[in-house]
Structure 1
């Protein structure tokens, strides 16, 4: 899955299950989301009055904003009247234009190729102006169009879309691209024959664009039905083909819905690719944690011993816990860890400890990690909450602390971490009012917590 998709998926899941604090600014987060809108007047936000206002791109940007600061967003390369040829030419010529974001047009400029390179998400709406050159309004209020010209234009638009995707991916192969489909802008016309012709034309061009988009791993959002069903509400000026703000807002919501549906489909595919098999350990047959151990074993995040046992009730050391978490969440290190007491471990284990340190799961304590020390339930909670904060780029702040009497004397971060796991259903208390934060963690308990945490991710 692409970089922005992973980040967006985490935002989606955490918005659904966590009261995530939005107090930190996007600039303070570990990952600032870069969103670039390309295309014609719809991307620029031309409204029913013919003025540049809030378009679908602006509403998408607002949806992905973090706290008081918006994401890095630019619709400055979107321009009324643009065709697929114009978009291609801009990319090929690497044009420079003023940045246009939620605050309006900036005095700062950007080149389109650099903007594409830095983007995590690109939206595109273009093709309508290519088609309009083949459509003529008759004096009687009807329409006529050059059938041969329409067919040729559809083919050319498809070819240009492929070139646009190729040009974007050449600059940034990891970017996500969402394409807004065309809609019938003349729904107020009463002539059923004309409507049938227009709808056929829109469907034909949409199908052609959709094929190219999906063949190139993009997301196509078909907005035509949405707008047709709400024509009076969204196309409020019969003398203008553009949507009003309500229409753009609805289009943005549908595009985001289609995007997250695609992300969740990818996540489901990734999880279903692994077949859960029964772990071959001789000492877990009647153990309460067998199902969790089977999953952890199938995912390759926990292993057994050379004698064929798993030892589910054995306490977990800090080094072992870190290694399992790093494997479960595929963390990687770029530098060595600054700890003096891990040199006796294998290079793989040292790399795993370094990855955990870089991700902020563990912290330096006068240069020591204490790898052989047994990890407690509270310490694991801290590691997993820090991992989530690192992924999301936001500090988790709960609405209230979990109802455990035996955590009140712990520092605030530890209380919040335990609450974090409690709120998302990853851990329960040892009773209704106790968490037993100082209890050592067993291998079976670690398997359960990580399997549940991975399912929440």
Structure 2
């Protein structure tokens, strides 16, 4: 029975090899289960038989483009891949003409795609073209292992290859200026020929690759050198002396060279995916963007200097380190792990050195709320901006104010309703949860089922929220009906708002330095930091 099964397997594999279909299967980005921060890309391969995937036996299968697509998919980077526009025997002239004529090809799914449409959608484009231009001037006798060519004609052709490739890339960028283009340098296709010929072959190869590499001087263009890697083990990578195409092993090596260049040059993870905000001389806050994932549960594993510090739930996107030393460089990273144990690859990482006497923010020195802002930051109530500022005079929306209050008081949602308001469903789940926590604790009420999250929170509304917090822990009988109203501009407000502002002023949570309160003005980040800090101080007495 075992022998029969083994024979069936061998038969299937032999059939696969015979018809030129590789057993390699690359998984699309949609099937990837590992959490990921990467930005998915559309990959288009252009060029000749190396791009199409002709092997050393003359069969079309998986070339370097397929292996590269597979690697892009493994890390969740691949959205789509097409090599329909790569054709065996193509020259640079053929590639250029196809782009200009906007040729149509049919995908494996039976969908017709035009070349310019594919280029327009692509983030990554690879090009392998130029060898066939030059080989048209070469005569090879595989049996005698000899080679004949017209050196002058080849030199002119090499120069034309450089011009054609530059025009190809110019046309590509006129269609899609943001596409990253990776151009392949060629290897020696005749390493089995006489040693006497090899120096001249090397000279011609260097000339061709130099012409190709000149395109890397153009924006978003990168040259991928392959000659040395293939030459190191040409008997394995070019096993058929009568065929200039690579073996699967050779294509894998070439794909790795492309992948290394992509990792080096392509913004796989958003540049602002992980940020650091200094809090004090020995503390900082690490923040990161949410991961994308297919599962239902994700945790963030936070590391410092390769040591795991904590695991956090998916709704938490920051962590504060408070035991750091000044003038010491630390490395931090965040890895996302889903419910099945699949770990993000790549992960987010950043290094940072806390310098001596570095100001907390560049725009709060001497500000009237400087002390309150520092206190709010240290308590994790507020974050600064990545440019090193706090922007104390910026306004807060009602949604932002709800999140700040809930975070400051560590309030939980007491409601059994999924959503009490009709206009907050477009917000992140964490923000919706904060608004519902503020609502269920009686701090905000909304109007006719609407919260109006994008409206600026006013100074009067902020005071009312603060007073509702106090009402739950303070005996309001301590404030008699004869409570003085210290401000002259509260006449048009309801009794609860007037009482709230007056009581907070009496407690010192609102200052009475001026005769007016400006209740209709938008509350600033500085106003909010001051009121919340003073409110927490009062509650802790």
Band of TM-score, shorter chain: 0.5 to 0.7
Q: 1:150 to 1:369 in 2, by over 3 A?
A: farther
Tell me what 2:399 maps to: 339
1:57 corresponds to 2:65:
yes
Q: Over aligned residue pairs, what C-alpha RMSD do you find? A: 4.6
Query: In 1, Cα distance between the equivalents of 2:136 and 2:202?
Result: 17
Q: 1:148 to 1:119 in 2, by over 3 A?
A: same
- Per the TM alignment, residue 215 of structure 1 is displaced from its structure 2 partner at its CA by 3.4
Counterpart selection for 2:382 from 298, 309, 320: 320
The equivalences for 1:85-234 within 5 A come to 85-99=93-107, 105-137=108-140, 140-189=144-193, 191-234=194-237
Query: Cα deviation per residue 1:121-174 (whole Å; 9 max; x = unaligned)?
Result: 111111000101111225853212112211211111111111111111111111
Q: 1:214 to 1:340 in 2, by over 3 A?
A: closer
Structure 2: unaligned runs, 5 residues or longer: 1-30, 273-277, 284-321, 328-351, 389-395, 403-424, 439-528, 530-541
Q: 1:111 to 1:263 in 2, by over 3 A?
A: closer
Which moved further from structure 2: 52-61 or 168-177?
168-177
The equivalences for 1:378-417 within 5 A come to none
- Per the TM alignment, residue 359 of structure 1 is displaced from its structure 2 partner at its CA by 9.2
Q: 1:294 to 1:249 in 2, by over 3 A?
A: same
Between structures 1 and 2, the one with greater helix share: 1
Tell me what 1:273 maps to: none
Counterpart selection for 1:73 from 81, 84, 101: 81
Tell me what 1:432 maps to: none
Q: 1:260 to 1:209 in 2, by over 3 A?
A: same
Query: Cα deviation per residue 1:363-408 (whole Å; 9 max; x = unaligned)?
Result: 22385697xxxxxxxxxxxxxxxxxxxxxxxxxxxxxxxxxxxxxx
CA contact (8 A) 1:90 1:112 kept: yes
Query: In 2, Cα distance between the equivalents of 1:250 and 1:129?
Result: 22
- Per the TM alignment, residue 223 of structure 1 is displaced from its structure 2 partner at its CA by 0.4
Q: 1:210 to 1:295 in 2, by over 3 A?
A: farther
Which is bigger in relative contact order (C-alpha 8 A, separation at least 6)? 1
Tell me what 1:257 maps to: 260
Q: 1:165 to 1:306 in 2, by over 3 A?
A: same
The equivalences for 1:238-317 within 5 A come to 238-263=241-266, 302-307=361-366, 314-316=375-377
Which moved further from structure 2: 177-186 or 215-224?
215-224
1:23 corresponds to 2:33:
yes
Counterpart selection for 1:36 from 44, 60, 71: 44
Between structures 1 and 2, the one with greater strand share: 2
Q: 1:364 to 1:218 in 2, by over 3 A?
A: same
- Per the TM alignment, residue 214 of structure 1 is displaced from its structure 2 partner at its CA by 3.2
Structure 1: unaligned runs, 5 residues or longer: 1-20, 100-104, 271-278, 329-335, 343-356, 371-441, 443-457
Q: 1:305 to 1:109 in 2, by over 3 A?
A: same
Query: In 1, Cα distance between the equivalents of 2:428 and 2:116?
Result: 33
Query: In 2, Cα distance between the equivalents of 1:82 and 1:200?
Result: 23
Query: In 2, Cα distance between the equivalents of 1:47 and 1:156?
Result: 27
Query: Cα deviation per residue 1:212-241 (whole Å; 9 max; x = unaligned)?
Result: 223343111110111111111111112111
